[in-house]
Each structure stands twice: as structure tokens, then as C-alpha cells.
Amino acid sequence: MKQKGCIGIDIGGTNLRLALVDQEGRVLARSEEATLPAAGLPFLLSRLEFALEGLRETARSAGMEVVAVGAGVPGLVGRDGVVRASVNIPALEEVRLGEEIEKAVGLPVLLVNDANACAVGEHRFGAGRGCSSLLVVTLGTGIGAGLILDGRLWVGADGAAGELGHVPVEPLGRPCGCGARGCLEQYASATAISGGSGDAEAVAAMARGGDAGSLTLFAEAGRYLGIAVAGVVNLLNLEAVILAGGVSGSFELLEPSLRRELSARSIAVPGARVRILKGSLGNDAGVLGAAALACSSLPL
């Protein structure tokens, strides 16, 4: 019998990542190119179609059949399959992206929010393996999160669950793009840490070199993360909270103040239970999670 595989896609504001994945979560081939969000939907779809065909060809020559595609998108994916509130790629808004890709490549397509794809990836193949209840926080330009409860992805009544970036941590704090004030995203995203430039890596490099101001920026980000995480942990009694996304590369700079705040604010039993971990899949979490969801939605 022919081996079956899935293709995972991570549609980011900057990069379009695709990976051919087998049923054990091994990446057999990958492709990556610039998203160019300003070029519009037809351009994005034709790039996707081209990249998908390339990976299908690779699969064919390896004797594998691609049976489904999973795509993680930066936006809210409604239960009706329509993408909403995609801040980084406005061209995707109000589009039935899954159907569009299905039409282009003739395979079943499962659409999922990118943070949720990342959470499924870390849960199935990464730092969250073996946990049945966990939160995966994606720290990047903004902050997202995916919640796994009793081994299943929890997307909420409208597919909008996991917006940890808009959990309030300062009642009268900084204004946020969502219209509220004092959201976590305004204190712990790459944008917040870098003072707007988005280059939190540069701040991290200075912090590692001993720069006091840069160390304080990370300590503050960690403290605010600890406040938000304590709320989630007290509410849900999770086994693990995993930090993923670009800023999680600076895990060691965030960790001490996050843990301090968490232990000060969490009640005894859930506080002692929860493990704070760094994601182990890096950029592959999203494509692996999207592929796994697509594969598991099929009667294989």
C-alpha cells in the first residue's frame, strides 16, 4: 500500500512555509518563500498552488500519496471556514481560503488559526508530548495562544478562543489595537519589547551582553506574562504552559520574572503542577500542527 502523507502550510505575514509530513510527524521536504501580503489574494493563491504542486511531485517520486492539506492562517477562522480579522494579511479577510485552495489543488483542506496549529504541533510532536491539558503561547509581533484541553484543541464557540494577547494585565494601561487598554500584547510581544521596531532579537543580544535597560525590558515582559499565565493556570489547572514563537528564543531572559510572578499569583495546587517550558519545534510547530490536524480529520 502506498504511504500516505499530508502537507502543512504556515501562512505568515512575512513567510509562506510548507512541509510534506508523514503520519509520524516527520518532515520529508519543505519549501519557503516570501508571502508578499500587499500583492493580493490571486497572487498569494498562485504561489501556494505552485508550492503545493512542487511538494506533491516530491511525494510522488518518493512513492507517497498526499491525502490532505492543513493551513494555519494569521487570523480568526470561523466555524464557517471564513477567515476574519487577519491583521497581517488583510487580503485574506472574508475569504473562504480553504475552499479556494481545495479548488486549486483538488485535495481536502483544513483551515486553522496559526497559534492553534502551533499548539497542536507542540502537543503532538514537541515539548507538550504526553500532556493532555496545556497552553501554547506564541510570542511574536503579536501574542496568540492555542489551548489543548483533555487532548483536544479548544477553539471556543466561534473559533476565537486563545486570544491571550488581549487578556488585560494593566487596568488603565497602554491602548491596544483591539480597542481596550492594558492588554498583554502591549507589554510582552516583540513589538512591545523592541519599542515598536519589532526587532526583539537585537534587544535580547544587548540583554545577554549585560545591558541593564534591555534586561529590564525582558524582565517586565516576563512579569506581565506571569500575571496572564497565573490567571489561566488558576482557571484551568493545566499541566504545561509552553512558550513558542520568535521571542521564545529569549526564554531564559523571560523565565525568572515569569516564574516569580506565577508563583506569587497562582494558588497552591495548580501552581505546583504547571510546568513552564520552551517550545521544541521552532518554526516547524505550525506546519506540523496543521498537517496533523488535516491528517486526523480524514478516515485514513
Q: Which stretch binds Zn ion (CB under 5 A): 30-38, 177-185, 195-203, 290-298?
A: 177-185
Q: Which C-beta is closer to Zn ion: that of 183 or that of 217?
A: 183
Q: Could you tell me the smallest distance in angstroms from the CB atom of residue 197 to Zn ion?
A: 20
Q: Could you tell me the smallest distance in angstroms from the CB atom of residue 185 to Zn ion?
A: 6
Q: How many helices (H) does the chain have, and how many strands (E)? A: 10, 12
Q: Are 76 and 113 in contact (CB under 8 A)?
A: yes
Q: Which stretch binds Zn ion (CB under 5 A): 61-69, 172-180, 248-256, 266-274?
A: 172-180
Residues with Cβ within 8 Å of 171's Cβ and at least 6 positions away in sequence, in order, are 181, 182
Q: Are 19 and 8 in contact (CB under 8 A)?
A: yes
The interface with Zn ion within residues 178-197 (CB under 5 A) comprises 178, 180, 183
Over the Cα atoms of the chain, what is R_g? 19
Q: Could you tell me the smallest distance in angstroms from the CB atom of residue 228 to Zn ion?
A: 12
* CA 19 – CA 16 distance, rounded (Å): 10
* CA 92 – CA 72 distance, rounded (Å): 12
Q: Could you tell me the smallest distance in angstroms from the CB atom of residue 58 to Zn ion?
A: 41
Q: Which C-beta is closer to Zn ion: that of 151 or that of 177?
A: 177
* CA 43 – CA 50 distance, rounded (Å): 11
The interface with Zn ion within residues 194-213 (CB under 5 A) comprises none
**Residues contacting Zn ion: total by CB under 5 A:** 5
User: Residue type at 219?
Assistant: A
Q: Could you tell me the smallest distance in angstroms from the CB atom of residue 166 to Zn ion?
A: 4
Q: Could you tell me the smallest distance in angstroms from the CB atom of residue 163 to Zn ion?
A: 8
* CA 226 – CA 259 distance, rounded (Å): 7
Q: Are 290 and 101 in contact (CB under 8 A)?
A: no
Q: Which C-beta is closer to Zn ion: that of 28 or that of 178?
A: 178
Q: Which C-beta is closer to Zn ion: that of 68 or that of 225?
A: 225
* CA 97 – CA 135 distance, rounded (Å): 26
Q: Could you tell me the smallest distance in angstroms from the CB atom of residue 59 to Zn ion?
A: 41
Q: Which C-beta is closer to Zn ion: that of 168 or that of 246?
A: 168
Among 85, 131, 176, 219, binds Zn ion (CB under 5 A): 176
Q: Which C-beta is closer to Zn ion: that of 87 or that of 180?
A: 180
Per-residue contact flags (x/-) with Zn ion for residues 138 to 167, judged by CB under 5 A: ----------------------------x-
* CA 141 – CA 122 distance, rounded (Å): 20
With vertex at residue 159, the alpha carbon angle to CA 144 and CA 41, rounded to the nearest 5 degrees, is 80
Residues making contact with Zn ion (CB under 5 A): 166, 176, 178, 180, 183
